[in-house]
Amino acid sequence: MSSERTARRDERTRPTDETPAPDGERTASGEPVQYDEGYGPKVGVGPHPEPWPRGERYDPELLAHGDRRNVVDHYRYWTREAIVADLDTRRHDFHVAVENWGHDFNIGSVVRTANAFLAKEIHIVGQRRWNRRGAMVTDRYQHVRHHPDTADLTSWAAAEGLPIIGIDNLPGAVPLETTELPRRCVLLFGQEGPGLTEDARRHASLVCSIAQFGSTRSINAGAAAAIAMHAWIGRHARIEAPGAP
């Protein structure tokens, strides 16, 4: 394998500043103001009362002007780098991969859910540019890796010892509800409408379906991804009661 291909496969893109805020507003530290599409009250907190907390993880600009980012209260006033570093100490063992051939608007929703369930990495398969709107800037706190095609994703996963589990209601798929998902794996999702491509199906070690009981032929791609990720969480994550230390 050429060094150029190895470098390309090892490429990891940190979240960038190209993601616009819903209404274009930014905080004093340059972070987009993050609240859903500009509707409802702004999230977050105002300036921190003095004396300020001390430590490298705190952002002086946020302490002075307030923190309106879409983060849990534990991370208020922290720098983005400090948040990512803390998340890195406890990320789960599953990866999320999503095909991106038509700039599907659901990809942002998948990324946001992957952040909520703390996936190890997010893999964009296909076009490098993806629709970030639904992510609500959560990609800033994830590791996002690009693969030009499914074969590249498969080669990377094989080198890491990770089976690829496709999620789609296809003939021959096994029920997600009765399948023991591996702790270390890649959950692969297709796009809204076509679902997994034929190429993705061929490269998947297993394809799981989601049980449906109504008249519709399928559920939203973002919803399907959330169900599959939560299935992994239910099997492998450590669940603590709210407010537990």
Per-residue pLDDT of the chain (245 residues; tens, 9 = 90+): 444 444 443 444 444 433 344 444 554 555 554 444 444 467 789 999 999 999 999 999 999 999 999 899 999 999 999 999 999 999 999 999 999 988 778 899 999 999 999 999 999 999 999 988 889 899 999 999 999 999 999 999 999 999 999 999 999 999 999 999 999 999 999 988 788 999 999 999 999 999 999 999 889 999 999 999 999 999 999 988 766 54
Crossing angle (nearest 10°) for helices 221-236 and 106-116: 20
Nearest Cα to 1, choosing from 184, 188, 158, 163? 158
Q: Which residues of the chain does CATH 3.40.1280.10 include?
A: 90-236
pLDDT at 23: 42
Provide the residue type at 222 as one letter. G
pLDDT at 2: 43
Tell me the sheet residues that pair with 117: none
pLDDT at 102: 82
DSSP letter (8 states) at residue 96: E
User: Measured over all CA atoms, what is the biggest interatomic distance in the chain, rounded to whole angstroms?
Assistant: 62
Nearest Cα to 165, choosing from 123, 194, 224, 207? 207
pLDDT at 26: 53
Peptide bond into 60 cis (omega under 30): no
Fold of 90-236: Alpha/beta knot (3.40.1280)
Collapsed DSSP state (helix, strand, coil) of residue 160: helix
DSSP letter (8 states) at residue 5: H
Residue 1: CB atoms within 10 Å: 8
Collapsed DSSP state (helix, strand, coil) of residue 243: coil
Query: What pTM was computed for the model?
Result: 0.82
Nearest Cα to 162, choosing from 110, 94, 245? 94
Contacts of 129 (CB under 8 A, 6+ apart): 103
Query: Residue 6 belongs to what H/E stretch?
Result: helix 3-9
Is residue 119 within 8 A of residue 139, CB to CB? The reply is no
